[in-house]
Amino acid sequence: MHQSPPQQRPLVLGSTSRYRRELLERLNLPFEVAAPDVNETPLPSETPRDLALRLALAKARAVAQQHPGAVVIGSDQVADLAGEPLGKPGQHERAVQQLRQMSSQTVVFQTAVAVVCAATGFEQVELASVEVRFRALSDEEIERYLRAEQPYDCAGSAKSEGLGIALLDAIHSDDPTALIGLPLIRTCRMLRAAGLVLP
């Protein structure tokens, strides 16, 4: 007797980030997008690593409450400069300040991903740390880059997948899409653990 493949649970990306949406589309799985309602303010003395892990899980849990039968992905990225969190700059002046701080420095982009399914009680969270070494940046280079790419919605003010790669000396990572915002190797591992069949 021929068995049809089991019905998959729906997949929901708990993020409004277009970068994460584009990355998840690579897996060829149908998914919905939902905005997590989570306060992203760091707790007193919270490390960038702990902040990223806490927020990824909080986002996945918040969306899983609205979609209890679904498998939900939550993710968060915090740029870590010598233990200080650098968030999304939001505007030009703040981006200039961030890039000046990061010039000639190594910044660790802490990218956390969580997978939650309320119906089954499944919950996992993992962290992908990406070490990024910035070269010495002049104010003219910073200004030219920001005018060209306007990366004001990116933690740390630089898009490695675009022109921002020209600001860097090196990237060290074991999950190549982590820096863009969603570590797909870890995401696939957790989706399979949650019971989804990946192509």
In this predicted structure, the answer to whether residue 3 has a pLDDT above a threshold of 60 is no
pTM: 0.90
User: Residue 5 pLDDT more than 70?
Assistant: no
Burial 29-65 (b: 16+ CB within 10 A, else e): bebeebebebeeeeeeebbbbbbbbbbbbbbbbbbbe
2 pLDDT higher than 60: no
153 has catalytic annotation: no
Mean pLDDT of the chain: 93
Q: Quick check: 67 pLDDT over 90? A: yes
* Annotated catalytic residue, options 37, 76, 139, 174: 76
CA 131 – CA 153 distance, rounded (Å): 20
Q: pLDDT-based confidence at 4, cuts 50/70/90?
A: very low
Structural domains in the chain, CATH included, are 11-193 (3.90.950.10)
| Amino acid residing at 98 | Q
Mean pLDDT calculated for residue range 23-33 = 96
d(CA 164, CA 175): 19
What does the alpha-carbon distance between residue 109 and residue 156 come to, in Å, rounded to a whole number? 8
Rg over alpha carbons for the chain, rounded to the nearest Å, is: 18
